[in-house]
Amino acid sequence: MELTTKELAKYLDHTNLSPESTEEDIIKTCQEAVEFDTASVCVNSYWIPLVTKELTGSTVNPITVVGFPLGATNTATKVFETNSAIDDGAEEVDMVINIGELIAGHDDNVTEDIRKVAEATHAKGKLLKVILETSYLNDDQIVRGCQASEAAGADYVKTSTGFSSAGAKLADVALMRATVGDRLGVKASGGIHSRKEALEMIEAGASRLGVSATVKILSE
């Protein structure tokens, strides 16, 4: 696959979710995103008001994470986080599923958790991505997680938080794409460090990439 740097940039959610990030670090992340015209800047919700301000006048969206990184917060908390972040300026929300409930086979509970967040997100006209944390899951669980996300009304499924034992894998991305077809987006996140790896993820079926190595990837 061949993409220009400008084309590739619009696949990228320029991500800074480090707990050590300062205001200066977040501003720098925003400046990099605006320079390269990425799809978005993805940060923890505390920083959304600052990011929204810094991205004003650009085509880069502020986005945030919910139930992050473990997914085991209750649904009401995830919905509150979602509403608060959107009110502060978030255009997209990346939520973590209840991973243990998926592994246990309690798919109805997983679906309902996602559905409530999807309803809150869509009520405000925004997009929802659902993080499966594929490093903990087998193929059957990945498929079921995708099916639950689609049934609940999500807009994307996403591989990883970047805080687990492994990030995105090509086989997982391909499986997710095969499961959701062209009905949902697929976001590959975690462990993407080069232009080659980014393009391979897109070829496997990713329509968005979560990366912190944005500058390196787009400067290659």
DSSP class of 95: E
Instruction: List the pLDDT tens digit at each of the 220 positions of the chain.
Output: 789 999 999 999 999 999 999 999 999 999 999 999 999 999 999 999 999 999 999 999 999 999 999 999 999 999 999 999 999 999 999 999 999 999 999 999 999 999 999 999 999 999 999 999 999 999 999 999 999 999 999 999 999 999 998 999 999 999 999 999 999 999 999 999 999 999 999 999 999 999 999 999 999 8
Phi and psi at 124, nearest 5°, equal -105, 10
Please confirm, yes or no, whether 6 is among the known catalytic residues. no
Verdict on whether the full-model pTM lies above 0.85: yes
Residues shown for the chain: 220
Q: Which of 13, 94, 113, 172 is catalytic?
A: 94
Q: Which of 78, 126, 158, 169 is catalytic?
A: 158
Calculate the alpha carbon distances from 50 to 44, 46, 85 in Å: 11, 8, 12
Domains (range + CATH), the chain: 10-219 (3.20.20.70)
Please confirm, yes or no, whether 158 is among the known catalytic residues. yes
> Please, is 59 exposed, middle or buried when counting C-beta atoms within 10 Å of its C-beta (0-12, 13-18, 19+)?
exposed
Distance CA 194, CA 209 (A): 12
> Please, is 112 exposed, middle or buried when counting C-beta atoms within 10 Å of its C-beta (0-12, 13-18, 19+)?
middle
